[in-house]
Homo-oligomer: A and B are copies of this chain.
Amino acid sequence: MIITNSGRQFHLSLEKHMRLTSKFFFLLTLLLTISSVRSQNSQHDYQETANKIFDTALQEGQAYEMLKELCLDVGPRLSGSPEAAAAVEWGRQTMEKAGLTNVHLQALTVPHWVRGSVEEATILNSISVGSVPLTVCALGGSISTPTLGITAKIIEVNNFDQVRELGEKARGSIIFYNRPLDKTKRKTFSAYSGAVDQRSRGAIEAAKVGAVAVLVRSMTTREDDVPHTGAMNYTAGVPQIPAAAISTVDANFLSALVKKDSTVNVNLKLNCQSLPDAPSANVIGEITGTELPDEVVLLGGHLDSWDKGHGAHDDGAGCVQSIEAIRLLQSMGLKPKRTIRAVLFMNEENGLRGGKDYAQRVAANGPKHIAAIESDRGGFTPRGISIQAEPTTAAFKKVMGWAPLLSAINADHFESGGSGADISSLKKNGTLTMGLLVDSHRYFDYHHSDNDTFDKVNERELQLGAAGMAIIAYVLANEGLPAPEHN
């Protein structure tokens, strides 16, 4: 507004201003109305689309049949094994059959560790119980023992401080890590995170004080007599010693025995070994974007598994859900503006070569990955999405706005958190990485053990997870994301 000394001019000016303002507000109101209607329509359409995707997934889903093949025909598929090669070919054929386009392999080499045929631990001539076999299995990456095994005194510890305090007393012993998962954690993944250092670094810390082997309490929230395997590590400059998981039932038994009889000796025999790296591949397929085909929304899981059970929840489920999500969109005639790509990553369990290699290629040659969602928490009832971004970022807020699309199945719990091991390397390229959140109370009952079999997966739960991924991927592919701020 211009204020002058002339009353008339002021009046005119004011009048003109009012007219202009009124016009401005009229236009603004019109614009806001249109945009609100558009946005409502768009939200409304997505809600309708989401409901149809759920219907289709529940009525005509194929993820469960895909998983059945992967679990029962291919079976467990540790990196470098013939079964892993079979899984790659299964993935390629399954993507083709599901109607994905641009199906191809991305070659890489992977570690090749084999369990061997011998994994035994025996309590020797205990004054209390005599000789008793224990339920154990080699941890992934462990070296073997001599053929006759290693016989040594058991020393039980709960953490690395206790190992360091042992000092010279530990020399020549077998260190027995027995800190249980914290049952009171509301999230089983938090319980796992709080205990898994024993498995991943236990052999290193024990070897530093002269121990000759380690037994590690299985990483499960249950008491069962099944050992749960998983990756262990060595480090340069520290002697490599054999490492095995012991079932939680036998960990409790051994612990009670050690308290009564401080001289318990165990003989541990493992004939696992690491072979030269083997050729393998990530498996990739897409639905091509109609408007921005060179921008990608990735859906993924990992194709390799441990050599126990069927690798059903970890992570056959994530693989078939990634394929199924695209198949659902395809079969319903939905055409996303950007490309949605399913990637079955190889070697998540013991090397992460597939995920790292994939991210390097994207960083070097593109295409631009605006977002990635991994399903690697088991094929259970979906609960929401974990977004690997600060809640203050525009991208985070935009994705949060889509949570209501999953409320029909009570999966609208979106939160800031981790994504998935395979896709986390994409984050530094500016990709918004996310993870499918599921009800995970049962996950560590099965994880990395003979318990992780096909029959533990429920078809509806698996399908709803695939549908949730399809919905969020579709909206992401159409709506895009604000440029990454702190992502």
* Chain B residues whose C-beta falls within 8 Å of the C-beta of A171 in the assembled complex: none
A184 to B460, CA, bound (A): 10
Complex CA–CA separation, A413 to B383 (angstroms): 12
Instruction: Tell me, yes or no, whether A58 is within 8 Å of chain B by CB.
Output: yes
Query: Inside 8 A of A461's CB, which chain B residues have their CB?
Result: 441-442
- Given B55, B410, B442, which contacts A413 in the complex, CB threshold below 8 Å? B410
- Contact indicator A410/B383 (Cβ below 8 Å): yes
Tell me if A201 is interfacial: C-beta within 8 Å of chain B: no
Residues of B within 8 A of A184 (CB): 54-55, 58-59
A221 lies within 8 A of chain B by Cβ: yes
B-chain residues with CB within 8 Å of residue A458 when the two chains form the complex: 441-442, 445
Whether the Cβ atoms of B221 and A186 lie closer than 8 Å is no
Contact assessment for B408 and A186 in the assembled complex, using a CB-CB cutoff below 8 Å: yes
Number of copies: 2
Please give the distance in Å from A14's CB to the nearest CB on chain B. Answer: 41
Q: Given the complex, which residues of B lie within 8 Å of A221, measured CB to CB?
A: 459-460
Q: Is A83 an interface residue (CB 8 A)?
A: no
Chain A contacts with B in 18-65, Cβ cutoff 8 A: 54-55, 58-59
Tell me the residues in window 384-442 of chain A with beta carbons closer than 8 Å to chain B beta carbons.
408-410, 413, 439, 441-442
**What residues of chain B lie closer than 8 Å to A185, measured between beta carbons?**
58
Are A59 and B183 neighbours in the complex by a CB distance under 8 Å?
yes
Whole-angstrom CA separation of A428 from B410 in the bound complex: 31
Are the CB atoms of B58 and A188 closer together than 8 Å?
Answer: no
State how many angstroms separate the Cβ of A81 from the closest Cβ of chain B. Answer: 29
With A58-B184, A184-B58 given, is the CB distance from A381 to B441 under 8 Å?
A: yes
A222 contacts B by Cβ under 8 Å: yes
Give bound CA distance, A185 to B464, whole Å. Answer: 12
Q: Which residue of chain B has its CB nearest to the CB of A381?
A: B439
CB distance from A379 to the nearest CB of B (A): 11
Most buried by B among A188, A460, A461: A460
- Chain B residues, CB < 8 A from A222: 459
Contacts of A464 in B (CB 8 A): 441
CB nearest to A60 among chain B residues: B183
A409:B186 contact, CB within 8 angstroms: yes
Give every chain B residue within 8 A of A410 (Cβ-Cβ): 383, 413
A152–B99 Cα gap in the complex (Å)?
A: 46
Whole-angstrom distance between the Cβ of A441 and the nearest chain B Cβ: 4
Chain B positions within 8 Å of A460 at CB level: 183, 188, 221, 441-442
- Taking CB atoms, residues of chain B closer than 8 Å to A445 are 458
Chain A residues 208-233 with CB under 8 Å of chain B are: 221-222
Report the bound CA distance from A459 to B183 in whole Å: 11
Q: Which chain B residues lie closer than 8 Å to A381 at the CB level?
A: 381, 439, 441
CB of A54 within 8 A of CB of B442, answer no
Give 29 CB contacts A-B under 8 Å.
A54-B184, A54-B186, A55-B184, A58-B183, A58-B184, A58-B185, A59-B183, A59-B184, A183-B460, A186-B408, A186-B409, A188-B460, A221-B459, A221-B460, A222-B459, A381-B381, A381-B439, A381-B441, A383-B410, A410-B413, A439-B439, A441-B458, A441-B460, A441-B461, A441-B464, A442-B458, A442-B460, A442-B461, A445-B458
**Residues of chain A at the chain B interface (Cβ within 8 Å):** 54-55, 58-59, 183-186, 188, 221-222, 381, 383, 408-410, 413, 439, 441-442, 445, 458-461, 464
18 new A-B contacts at CB < 8 Å, known A55-B184, A186-B409, A442-B460: A54-B184, A58-B183, A58-B184, A58-B185, A59-B183, A59-B184, A188-B460, A221-B459, A221-B460, A222-B459, A381-B381, A381-B439, A410-B413, A439-B439, A441-B458, A441-B461, A441-B464, A442-B458
